[in-house]
């Protein structure tokens, strides 16, 4: 982001990467500065890191060595299953982009959750209130960030349907609409999250369900 907004790499990057980092001529810097229409990103697990010595002798000198950090732990939200960070992390990222990079237009390309780890593999699951809760929590964060000035233009849920995942094949199901992978016709069906999200997009309340401990209460009809 730094070259796109300020026309050059940040000083800390220059000091760590050295001559391996390209030098931008004045004309190149002017061309690259502001040469984007929007910022788009996917938001999934976040990782806590701790500082590592920059002169530790790590080889090869690559992205991870240059960052001079070591991973500590991956943060997930226990209520949403695997591969989902706490909602506050998105708010921090949006605020960072607003303050550090002149508040660019933002599209959130992907936020989603796999199936509940308590569900049997391959089971037909209609009730996925954990996913509805996730959507509510993240939309609330987006809403508050926009009220605080973030220029968020769009938000896309991953995914409309259960799909083939490059890392997980057909095992991890992210869809608002389920797909029966055991049926010859790959039968599709609506999950409760699809019904909630459709209702929300048509003007429904942000929080029709209530989280209570480790289970979700049924929404009032």
Distance CA 105, CA 110 (A): 16
Per the annotation, the verdict on 73 as an active-site residue is no
Residues in a beta bridge with 41: 108
Cα-Cα-Cα-Cα dihedral of 62, 68, 71, 72, to 10°? 170
DSSP letters of 37-94?
A: S-EEEE---EEEEEE--TTS--SS--HHHHHTEEEEEEE--GGG-SS---THHHHHHH
At 147 the three-state DSSP class reads helix
Residues in a beta bridge with 210: 217
Locate 52 and state its tokens. Answer: 């590592």
Locate 201 and state its tokens. Answer: 């997009």
- Please say whether the beta carbons of 14 and 63 come within 8 A: no
Question: Which residue among 110, 115, 165, 205 is the active-site one?
Answer: 110
H helices within the chain, ranges in order? 2-6, 11-17, 26-32, 63-67, 88-100, 129-147, 192-201
Distance CA 194, CA 132 (A): 8
Catalytic sites, residue numbers: 110
């Amino acid at each position: 982001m730094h070259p796109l907004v300020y026309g050059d790499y940040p000083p800390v990057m220059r000091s760590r990467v050295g001559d391996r980092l390209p030098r931008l001529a004045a004309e190149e810097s002017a061309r690259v500065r502001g040469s984007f229409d929007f910022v788009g990103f996917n938001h999934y697990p976040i990782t806590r890191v701790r500082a590592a010595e920059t002169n530790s002798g790590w080889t090869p000198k690559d992205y991870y060595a240059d960052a001079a950090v070591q991973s500590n732990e991956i943060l997930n939200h226990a209520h949403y299953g695997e591969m989902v960070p706490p909602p506050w992390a998105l708010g921090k990222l949006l605020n960072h982009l607003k303050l550090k990079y002149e508040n660019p237009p933002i599209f959130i390309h992907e936020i989603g959750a796999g199936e509940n780890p308590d569900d049997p593999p391959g089971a037909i699951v209609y009730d996925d209130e954990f996913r509805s809760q996730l959507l509510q929590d993240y939309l609330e964060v987006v809403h508050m960030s926009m009220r605080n000035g973030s220029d968020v233009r769009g938000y896309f849920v991953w995914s409309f349907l259960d799909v083939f995942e490059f890392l997980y094949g057909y095992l991890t199901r992210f869809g608002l609409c389920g797909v029966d992978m055991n049926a010859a016709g790959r039968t599709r069906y609506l999950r409760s999250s699809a019904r909630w999200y459709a209702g929300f997009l048509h003007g429904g309340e942000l929080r029709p369900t209530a989280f209570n401990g480790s289970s979700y209460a049924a929404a009032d009809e």
